[in-house]
Structure 1
Amino acid sequence: MIKIFQTWLERYFADEEAVLVAVILVVGIVILASLGVVLAPMIAAIIIAFLMQGMVLKLKSWGVYHNVAVSITFLVLTSALLLCMLFIVPAFWRQLINLLNETPRMLVQGQQVLLLLPQKYPALVSEMQVKELIDALQIEMTQWGQSILSFSLAQLPVLVGVLIYVVLVPILVFFFLKDSEVMLAWLGNTLPSRRPVMTEIWREMNLQIANYVRGKAIEIVIIAGVSSVIFSILGLQYALLLGIAVGLSVLVPYIGAAVVTLPVAMIGFFQWGWSNEFFYVMIAYGVIQMLDGNVLVPVLFSEAVKMHPVVIVLSVLVFGGLWGFWGVFFAIPLATLCKAIINAWPTVSNFGADNKTCIQDEDAAGKAP
C-alpha cells in the first residue's frame, strides 16, 4: 500500500510546479473557508472588476487611454448601482412586502382548492389525506414565518455593514481596474519564471471562464428585465419580483427554470384562477425560456465549455453547498477550472518530456556559433 502511494506521489508530484499549484489551491480553500466573511468586500470587488474588465479592454481596443477607459467603466458601474438603489430596490422591496401580506389570503384560497379535490376525484384523494396535507402545510408555514422573523431581527446589525460595502466595494473595484496590470505583474514575479501548468490554467480561464461569467451576468440582466416587462404588460402581480426570480434562475441550468415555474404559476393562479390570463402568462414564460435556451445562450456562450448535464448539476450542488450564492454563480467556471487543472497537471511522463526538450534546446544553443 505504501509503495502504491509512493508511486502515485512520484507520478503526479514529481514536478515542483505541481507541488506549488497544490499548495496554492489548499491555501486558497483554507483562506476562503476561514476568512470568507472578513474578505467578502474584497472578493465581491474582485468579482465585479473581473466582470467589468471586458468593457475596459473593449474601450482600449478603440484607442481610449487606460485611465479614461477605467473612468468610463467605473461611471457606468456607479450609475447602474444608483439606478438600482433609487428605483429597482425600493420597488422590489414593496412587492416583497405586499407578497408577504397577501400570503395568508393565498393560503386560504389554496386550502379551498385542496378541499374540492376529494369531491372531484374521490378515487384518487380522500378527505383525510387533504386534511393531513393542510395541517402539514400550516405547520411548515408557521415555522417558515418564525424563521423569517428571527432572520430579519438577527440581520439588523448587518445593515451597517451593507452600507459600508456600498461605499467600500466600488472604491476597491476602481483600483482593481486601474492597477490590474501592475497587480498581475507583481503576482507573476512572486511565481517561478517557468510555469507551464499555471500558464495553461490561466489561458483556460481567460478564454472560457471570463467569457462565461460576463455572459452569465448579461443573461441574468436581460432575462430579468424582459420577464419583468412582459409580466407587467400582462398585468401579473409582483412582476418585478418574479422577473428577478426568473433572471436568477438561469444561474442553475436545467433546475432553475423548473423551480421558478412554480411561483410564477402560483401567483398567476391565485390572481386569475384557470382563466385565459393565466395561460397567457404561462405561454409567455415558456416563450422566454425557449428564446433564452435557443437564441440568447448560443449567442453569449459561443466559446463556453460544453459539459455534461450531470457534471453541471453536480458542480452546482457541490460549490453551492460550499459557498452559497457565489458558489452557484461560479459553479460551471469552477468546474471548468478543475477540468483545466486536471488536463494541465504534469505527470512523470510529461515532466520527462519537458526535461528532454529543455536539454535538447540547451544543447542546440551550446553548439550554435
Structure 2
Amino acid sequence: MIGVVGRWYKRKFSDPDSVTLLFLLVFTFLVLALWGDILMPVLVAFVIAYLLEWPVNKLCQLGASRTLSVIGVLVTFIGVSIFTFVGLVPVVTQQSANLLKELPQIWDQGMSWLLTLPDTYPGLVRVGHIQQMLEEFDQTVAAFGEQLITASVSSIVDIAALLIYLILVPLMVFFMLKDRKELITNVSRLLPKERRLINQVGSEMNAQIANYIRGKVIEIIIVGGVSAITFAFMDLRYAVLLGVLVGFSVLIPYIGAAVVTIPVAIVALFQWGISPEFWYLMIAYGVIQALDGNLLVPLLFSEAVSLHPVYIIVAVLFFGGLWGFWGVFFAIPLATLVKAVFNAWSSEPQLSQ
C-alpha cells in the first residue's frame, strides 16, 4: 500500500508545478478559513472588479482612457445598485411585513384543512398523527422565532459592517480596476517561477467564471422580473416579494425551483383556494420554470463547463455550508475550479531537465 501511494505521489508531484499549485490551494484555503470574515470586503470588491473588467475593457477598446472607463463603469454600477435598493427593497420589505402579519391566518386555515383529513380518509390518516405533527411543527416554529429575534438584535451591530462595505468596497473596486496590471504584476512576483499549472487553471477558469456570474445575474433579473410581472398580472398578493424569491431561487440549481414553489403555492391557496385561478397561476409558474431551464439557461451558459447534477448539488451543499450565501452563489464556479485543478493534475507532468 505504501508503495502504491509512493508511486502515485511521484507520478503526480514530481513536477514542481504540481507542488506549487498544491501549495497555493492549501494557502488560499487556510487564509479564507482563518480570516475569511475579516477579508470579506476585499473578496467582495475583487468579485465586483472582476465582473466590471469586461465593460471597462470594451470602453478602452472604443478609445477611452483606462481611468475614465473605470469611473464611468463604476458610477453606472453604483447608480443602478442605488436605484435597485431604493426602488425594490422598500416594496419587498413592506410585502414581507404584510405576509408575516397574515401568517397566523394562513396557519389556522392549514390546520383546519389538516384536521379534515381523518374524516376524508379514515383508513389512512388518524387524528393522533395530525396532532403530533402539529405539535412538532409548533416547536420548530417557536425555535425559529427565537433565532429570528436574536438575529434581528445582532443585526444592529452589522450596521457598522454595512458602512464599511459602502465606503471601502467602492474604493477598492476603483483601484483594483484602475491599477489592475500593476496589482497582477506585484502578485506574480510573489509566486514561484514554476507556475505552469497555475496558469493552466487560471486560463481555464478565466473563460468560465466571468461568463457564469454575468449569466447568473442576468438570469436572476429576467426570471425574477417575469415572475413578478406574471404574478401581478394575475393579481396574486405579494407579487414582488414572490418574484424576488423566484429570481434568487435560480442560484441553487434543481433545489431552488422546488423549494420556492412552496411559498408561491401557499399564498395562492390562501388567496383563492383550490380554484381555476390557483391552477392558472401554477401553470404559468411551471411555464416560467420550463422556459428558464430549457431556453434561458442554454442561451446564457452555452460556454459553461458541463457538470453532473450530483456534483452541482454536492458543491451547493458543501460551499454553502462553508460560506453561506456567497458559497451558494459561487458553488458552480468553485466546482468548476475543482474540476480544472483535477484536469491540471491529471495532465502529464513535465519533469525538470
TM-score (norm 1): 0.91
Structure with higher Rg: it is 1
Instruction: State the match for 1:314 in structure 2.
Output: 314
Q: Residue deviations 1:236-281, cap 9 Å, x none?
A: 1222221111111111111111111111111111111112222222
Residues 272 and 278 in structure 1, CA contact (< 8 A), matched pair in contact too: yes
CA drift of 1:346 comes to 6.7
Cα distance in 2 for partners of 1:65, 1:14 equals: 46
Q: Which residue in the other structure is 1:181 paired with?
A: 181
Match of 1:263 in 2: 263
Alignment correspondent of 2:106? 106
Alignment partners' CA distance in 1, 2:193 and 2:147: 53
Task: Show the counterpart of 1:350.
Answer: 349
Q: Is the 8 A contact 2:20 2:192 kept in 1?
A: no
Q: Residue 250 of structure 1 corresponds to which residue in structure 2? A: 250
Secondary structure at the aligned position of 1:345 is classed as: helix
Name 1:27's counterpart in structure 2.
Answer: 27
2:40 equivalent to 1:37: no
- State the partner residue of 1:339: 339
C-alpha contact (below 8 Å) 1:45/1:172 kept by paired residues: yes
- Give the drift of 1:7: 2.6
| TM-align CA RMSD | 1.7
Match of 1:4 in 2: 4
User: How many residues were matched structurally?
Assistant: 353
CA distance in 2, matches of 1:190, 1:38: 22
Quick check: 2:60–2:66 contact (8 Å CA) kept in 1?
yes
Deviation at 1:289, TM superposition (A): 0.8
Note the C-alpha offset of 1:125: 1.3
Change (3 A) 1:35 1:351: same
Q: Which amino acid aligns with 1:171?
A: L
CA contact (8 A) 2:12 2:349 kept: no
**What amino acid does structure 2 have at the position aligned with 1:255?**
I
One-letter code aligned to 1:250 = V
Cα deviation, residue 134, structure 1: 1.7
Return 5+ residue gaps in structure 2 as ranges.
Answer: none
Aligned AA (1:200): Q
Q: In structure 2, give the amino acid aligned to 1:351.
A: Q
Verify the 8 A CA contact 1:18 1:346 in the aligned structure 2: no
Contact kept? 1:15, 1:346, Cα under 8 Å: no
C-alpha separation between the residues in 1 aligned to 2:54 and 2:116? 56
In 2: Cα distance, 1:3 partner to 1:298 partner: 46
Amino acid at match of 1:321: G
Distance 1:187 1:279 in 2: 57
**Partner Cα distance (1:146, 1:195) in 2:** 51
Offset of residue 193 of structure 1? 4.2
Tell me what 2:15 maps to.
15
The percent identity for this pair of structures is: 45
